[in-house]
Structure 1
């Protein structure tokens, strides 16, 4: 499900080039960040394109801080927005999970210069088990609370609770950034042949086949797993130690290098 048609790739590249012209920026890196990268898109899923860009040196030398995001109106096909490199590096230092996911996306559209690779190489040093665990746990709790209560639930929302909870499981087991791909998390963390695994794979098969997956009765094995795991990771996350942030001097070096390489 990670295959992107050449026609769609071409359209995304055209959009990125248009942003560069209109905004007078250079896009360093662009990737897919949503359900297509996770491996469970619907037939009508849009493309969630995220990018990191850099502006000319003069822009950073103003006494006024400018807007550090670029967003384009969302349409039925494309949701595209990006962060300025300085903003990205500040968030990277705090082990920002969405940014760490972008850097390891299985669907990449663009990578210019050495900068994305240098940031990626520093990821193990900035990764914080505690902050990432809380990020995924809060995501899971919010979706579980909003969509999976009562006898009849929004069945497709199981993926949006399962994936962050499995990400918590990966962090607990390996103390590294979890992979984006949902099936990789399932295969690593849930024994094959287990009733839970069978139920998850059946749900995934239906989603890939284009089933609507709207309002249906709860799935007992998955529902029980989610309840148990949320309680478990609430206990785990609160006891985790907070790691030190990476030295800002190293990120300053990467930022300055980007300006030299690009301009």
Structure 2
């Protein structure tokens, strides 16, 4: 099977009906634990014509497409710029990870400008996003016993802790495992196991990982309480001006 990130994705960008401000790779490849059969999650922002937003018809603000390319399942989801920026302002760490992903398929000056504004939407309340995401993934792990939701649980908790402590969005689990002192020592072993299979039993001591997950929730709570991040976004006006200018420039 073709390595997912060796595929030329430029034709995918060229086929989109509206201009893309950016497209990046998210999902397991961004998080640092893809398996041999992981799909490629492409995320980005498109720009609707101004006329689509001022008439009576509801615009299609989110577009999605799934297909197979050279034996790899591709999943592309893009939002119109206005919707994406609104999501940024709602303590949504997921869209920030997409915006700031180092796995860039397509970029523009607008992408770089938007990324530069991202620190202005970070708040201490982003801890709630990661706490909630971790809770959802932990429930999936408890039901299935699979490795994937367990790794997601650890990933989002460590991302939240790292963000609260340093004001930086870091989604790459191997990096987090080395930088966050609270990370369990066995994470590299779990990451290596995930590389061999997309689905399957985690093969872990459930009591041990449950204790570590509960401990990390406590660390996240402490990091949020001590965080110097503001209570509200500071870049709202700058983002508004950016959306208006980018739309009018087409």
Bucket of the pairwise TM-score, normalised by the shorter protein: 0.7 to 0.9
Q: Secondary structure in 2 aligned to 1:244?
A: coil
Pick one of 13, 20, 29 that aligns with 2:22.
29
Q: For residues 182-201 of structure 1, what are the structure 2 equivalents within 5 Å? A: 182-190=173-181, 196-197=184-185, 199-201=186-188
The answer as to 2:16 corresponding to 1:19 is yes
Q: Secondary structure in 2 aligned to 1:148?
A: helix
Q: 1: CA distance between counterparts of 2:90 and 2:149?
A: 28
Pick one of 69, 75, 84 that aligns with 2:62.
69
RMSD across aligned positions (CA): 2.8
Q: CA deviation at 1:181?
A: 1.0
Q: 1: CA distance between counterparts of 2:89 and 2:217?
A: 27
Query: Computing the radius of gyration over CA atoms, which structure comes out larger, 1 or 2?
Result: 1
The answer as to 2:52 corresponding to 1:59 is yes
- In structure 1, stretches of 5+ residues that fail to align are none
- In structure 2, stretches of 5+ residues that fail to align are none
- Paired residues of 1:141 and 1:230 also in contact (CA < 8 A): no
Structure 1 stretch displaced more, 79-88 or 224-233: 224-233
Which segments of structure 1 move beyond 3 Å, counting only runs of 4 or more? 73-76, 209-213, 219-223, 231-242, 246-249
Q: Which residue of structure 1 aligns with residue 239 of structure 2?
A: 251
Q: CA deviation at 1:213?
A: 4.1
Q: CA deviation at 1:100?
A: 0.8
Per-residue displacement from partner, 1:33-85 (whole Å, max 9, x unpaired)? 10011110011000000110112222222244412111114556111110001
Q: For residues 36-115 of structure 1, what are the structure 2 equivalents within 5 Å? A: 36-73=29-66, 77-112=73-108, 114-115=109-110
Pick one of 122, 135, 142 that aligns with 1:141.
135
TM-score normalised according to structure 1 size: 0.81
Q: 1:228 to 1:55 in 2, by over 3 A?
A: same
Q: Which residue of structure 2 aligns with residue 129 of structure 1?
A: 124
Q: 1:224 to 1:90 in 2, by over 3 A?
A: same
TM-score normalised according to structure 2 size: 0.85
- Paired residues of 1:171 and 1:177 also in contact (CA < 8 A): yes
Pick one of 224, 229, 234 that aligns with 2:216.
229
